[in-house]
Structure 1
Amino acid sequence: MAVREKGSVKAVCKLGWYGDKCTKSCSNCFNGSCEQASGHCERGCKPGYHGAKCDKLCNTHCRDSVCNQTSGLCSDCLRTHVMDSTGSPECTDGCVDGKKGSYCQKQCPDHCYNCTDDSCIVCEESFHGDDCRKICPAKCEHGCQKDTGLCTSCQVGFYGPLCQSSCGYRCKAFDSGDQFCNFSDGACFNGCSDTVYGSSCDQNCSNTCRDQTCNDKDGTCTNGCVDGWKGRNAKLHVQLIASHVRNHLH
């Protein structure tokens, strides 16, 4: 449909459209009705929108998604929110993870799982620091302490505050093949491998133990000594003992 206006022909737009060529949508207006030239919604907005052209979203805390067309303030709040003195909804139960502000409309910084307006409270796993931008050590299990960056536990096979030390060959593996050691001091949970002993499995069995195998607590040779040696730790040479005895007798 077209109408003549001062010698020119001007189109009349279908409901929900406006502009010289009726190519602009005003579908957020109440019943899709808007002023043809400007697109202003003269009869108000449909629920969830506000603004002259109803192109702005109402706060998600507004009851039934209804807010004032001009100011955007909620007509009423959801039950978990209250109106402040300006008529805006404040969050009484805090924000969902990743949001901040009195109205929970602001985004927390990257890698910040929970925050206030001033700082990050909890970092996403694998990050730490005041602004959660520092990366935790690679072998930390389930992230690290926010303030210090120290690991609270390590991946299998590693220990120490930064999980940089390896349990290594020292620890006897479980049936699964994994080598577990104490997070703090590296003590092996399943005892030592056959060729080392001690509380930290860091002492080598004597090479005069048969197969260089010894008790993982005290280092005594579990398979006996190689030929020519004796003693709990196979440290006494048989020939030297015999020579010492002969000298003593003479």
Structure 2
Amino acid sequence: MGNCDRTTGQCSSCIQGYHGTNCKTRCSSNCTEECNKSTGRCIECISGIFGDDCNKPCPVNCKETCTRDEGKCGGCKPITVGLYCNSTCGAECLPITDGTRETCNRDGRCTECIVGRYGDGCDWNCSTTCDGNCSRSKGRCTECIVGRYGDRCDKNCSKTCDGRCDRTNGKCSLCIKGYSGDTCDKDCKDNCTICNQDDINNCSQCIYGKYYGTACNYTCSLNCKHGSCYQENGDCSGGCVEGKMGMDCSKNKDTADEEVSPVVGGVIGAIFGIVVTLVICITVYCYIVKSWSGCELRGCREDSVDA
């Protein structure tokens, strides 16, 4: 290919695949096409090979090819990282196995951290008071364990909270018995066992069952047995003391008898009148039947009398 010196016969250039003064030496089989005429150095190596003479294999974890001079991988096989793909993603990286993303990038940075870790390299532990995971950038807890609140769940909920509190402001979800308010720091009214968290005067249960009303501000009647009554209306819940009656046990039994005796007397009188009337009717009927029967026996018929 091309000319040669007329005196020495040295080629000015070689056909593809050859090199040397007289272009008699073949380029390495690992060269893609041409090689340097003077040195035989490949212009490019075939895939998977690198080096001046393209005689060195790329690192085993290279995804495809590597750089001609240094053998740095163009991409890594799954879970391997580094310039030569000779390292693995750290144990703090969350394994991604569905093929949608890499577990970590070439520099070893995790795509996602395992539960309980955060930071650019997932090398920081989430707070032990986090209930599960925390944010990758700042370590803010996703949820707090019961009894804690704050970005890192480092603050204690009020001791009078019944369980969790708002992780931002510490407001109690519920209060234990006897307390009210956002942080359950207010006592319910004296006679309340349980009061509304948003309204200290709204009781849902009165103490010992001996008071009634929305605010448990009324005392059950002393006529109630055991002094207990229903919170809704004050009616006695356990019956009445001896000698009392009624829903609220406000009536005396003797007075009640007097009030109902005229009614009872009227009913008894009516029944008695009906019974007497029936007896008279039955007696008259029997008498008539008996008289006719006796007359037939004596033959005292109307036609005999006429004879």
The alignment's TM-score, normalised by the length of structure 2, stands at 0.40
Q: Pick the structure with more strand per residue.
A: 1
- Give the greater-gyration-radius structure (CA): 2
The alignment's TM-score, normalised by the length of structure 1, stands at 0.47
Q: Which has the higher contact order (CA 8 A, sep 6+)?
A: 1
